[in-house]
Structure formats: structure tokens, C-alpha cells
Amino acid sequence: MDLRVALIGYGTGGAVFHAPLISSVPGMRLAAVVTGDPGRQRAVRERYPEAEVLDTADRLWSAPEGYDLVVVAAPNRWHVPLARTALTSGVPVVVDKPVAATAADARSLAALSAVRGLPVFPFHNRRWDGDFRTASRLVESGALGDVRRFESRFERWRPEVRRGWKESTDPLDAGGVLFDLGSHLVDQALALFGRPARVYAEIDVRRPGATAPDDVFVALEHPGGTRSHLWMSAAAPHLGPRFRILGSRAAYTVSGMDRQEEHLREGLTPKDPGYGVAPPEAHGLVGTPGEQVPEPTAPGAYQDFYAGVAAALRDGADPPVTLADAITGLEVIEAAERSARKSAVVALDDQ
């Protein structure tokens, strides 16, 4: 029997990412979508006629036994309240990033998850970017030698400020690029190299009319000496390489962005030929100066996140992303904020 999934929110996160990915995974069924917007309700009915459209989340909680999983794709300030209600209603939950606006709130969610015996799955889908899958394979295989520096960028040129909660300075909204793009960059660094000991950050507001951080640099010192340098910006008129990984034996460099978001926005899904595939001209390079060779980019596979969720719920497999990892990511973000305020390197575990 298919896992019955209820999706809360049908903005970009729900419509572009969650709904098509859920619908692409065997053994999962998009059973309901919660949105109060009439236009979005029509869009759901057109694309997913088998899904029930609910105008409020209260209608989910009135009959939680009808669902095997709730996915929270609402604005950030609602992540923890909706996830808590799902757990107290007896339903496991996927929560879009960032899971919470603070590490303390995420830890409280973990405590409730333990008490209820129900999992919380953070949606850190960028672990399944094709370029990151390629980078992970090269790092883990030892092809680059000992990694000394991991450089990673999500840079955009968006000089005009787009009003909305992502530009908010209200702490509950977790606005700005550090929480938005930074959640992905920090998570990828942690997935490869583990919890850092020290953090340094520069956090700026660059664009006219902006109030939330839009240009951020974060440096992490990991056990073993690997350093991660992470750039995230909405104010970059020239884009740097997506990854530059410097090892004792070789380097891996690749530019451009994983194509899955582009494909999903175009209406493609993982069921379509060519989904998530990078063209040869977008492949990276591995080697040393004068001896670099192309490195084919692995296909992107966001659907594997939901396949992992299904395996965890059905078979007791390990979760595709742990809530503990998301909590560590938020601790790093909070350490970055402390570092920027002090203009100094800070120990991750210092408060």
C-alpha cells in the first residue's frame, strides 16, 4: 500500500520541489495538499487531480489517521509549530530547510520526536545535487588525496530586492541568505567533513533597500585540518566556481548550478529522460595544473531523498538526513552570527 503524503504549502517549495518529487517515488502517493490560495488550489487540481485540496492544516489534524507522512513546506516561521502538531497527531514529518529558526527550537523538536517515537526528516535535498554527488565520490575515494580546502558557492545576481518573508529581519522568519542558501552549503560541508571546531564569518547587507543579509562568507575548521570556505550571495555580478576542492594529490573544480531546480521549474520530473543530467560542457575537471581531465558529473537525484524517507518508514532504514545533522547546521549558523558580531573566530561550542 502506498504511503499517503500530505503536503502543507504550495509555494515554490511545495510546487516546484516536494509535490513532483513525492509523485515520482514508487510507493508514495500525494494524498493531500494544504493551501488557502485559490490560484494555487486550482494549480494543484490541474496537476494532481487525485490529491485532496485542503484550505487549512486544521483539516489534516482532524483526521491524521488518513496520512502516513506530513511534509512542511510553509514559510520558515511555521516549520516548528506545524512539525510539532504533526508529531503530536501521530504522523512522521518532513520539514523543509531550515528546520527551525534556532538550534534550541530544533532540539525541542528532536525531544518531541523521541518522546513520540516518530521521525523528523530535514529536507536537505542538495546532498543529491549531481555536482555534490560527484564531489563526495572523489573525496571519499581518496582521488584528491587529503582534502585541505573545500570551497563552495551559491552566488546569484539579484540586485533588485524581492519583498517577502525571505527578506525579513524578524528572527522568527529566519530570513537572509545565511539561512536560505547557507543551510545547504553548511550541510554539504558537514556531510563531507563533520562538525567543525571553529567558525569565522562575514555577514553583510549590500543591496540598496535590503535589510536581511544578502552577502555572506563562512569559514569552518574541521577535525583533521580541512577548512571549508563557503560563499552565499544575492549580490554577485560575477559568479565563482560552484566547487573548488583542493587536495594533496589533485583538485576538483566545477562551475554552474545543478540543473534539477531548472528542470523542475520547467515541469520535468525524475521520471522524464534527461532529468538532472548535466551536459558535457558543464562537467568539472580533476587534476593538477597542465594535467586536468574532465570529470563527468553524476546525475542529480533529489528523488532519492524521498526514496530514503520511504525506506525509513517502511523498513526501518537509516534516515536520508538526520535531525541531528540539521541541529548541527543551525549551531554553525548561530556561531557564524556570533563571529560576525565579534569580527573574530569563535569556537562552535562557545555560547
78 and 114 belong to one structural domain? yes
What CATH number did the domain enclosing 155 receive?
3.30.360.10
Residue 247 belongs to a domain? yes
156 and 297 belong to one structural domain? yes
86 and 145 belong to one structural domain? no
199 and 159 belong to one structural domain? yes
28 and 139 belong to one structural domain? no
Helix (H, G, I), strand (E, B) or coil at 159: coil
144 and 197 belong to one structural domain? yes
Per-residue model confidence (pLDDT) at position 163: 86
Is residue 45 packed enough to be buried (19+ CB in 10 Å), middle (13-18) or exposed (0-12)?
A: middle
Q: Which residue range forms the structural domain that includes residue 85?
A: 3-123
Peptide bond between residue 98 and the one before it cis (omega within 30 degrees of 0):
yes
Per-residue model confidence (pLDDT) at position 351: 60
108 and 140 belong to one structural domain? no
Residue 150, C-alpha cell as written in the block: 573545500
132 and 273 belong to one structural domain? yes
171 and 296 belong to one structural domain? yes
pLDDT in tens, the chain (351 residues): 899 999 999 999 999 999 999 999 999 999 999 999 999 999 999 999 999 999 999 999 999 999 999 999 999 999 999 999 999 999 999 999 999 999 999 999 999 999 999 999 999 999 999 999 999 999 999 999 999 999 999 999 999 998 888 999 999 999 999 999 999 999 999 999 999 999 999 999 999 999 999 999 999 999 999 999 999 999 999 999 999 999 999 999 999 999 999 999 999 999 999 999 999 999 999 999 999 999 999 999 999 999 999 999 999 999 999 999 999 999 999 999 999 999 999 999 866
174 and 187 belong to one structural domain? yes
119 and 150 belong to one structural domain? no
Residue 308 belongs to a domain? no
Q: What b/e readout covers 137-176, taking b as 16+ CB neighbours within 10 angstroms?
A: ebbeeeebeebeebbbbbbbeeeeeeeeebbbeeeebbbb
Residue 325: name the closest of 154, 160, 139, 126 by CA. 126
Per-residue model confidence (pLDDT) at position 1: 87
Residue 335: name the closest of 325, 323, 327, 347 by CA. 347
What CATH number did the domain enclosing 49 receive?
3.40.50.720
Whole-angstrom Cα distance, residue 212 to residue 235?
Answer: 12
Helix (H, G, I), strand (E, B) or coil at 117: coil
Q: 290 in the Ramachandran plot: left (φ > 0), alpha (ψ -120 to 50) or beta?
A: left
Residue 322 belongs to a domain? no
237 and 146 belong to one structural domain? yes
Per-residue model confidence (pLDDT) at position 186: 98
Domain count, the chain: 2
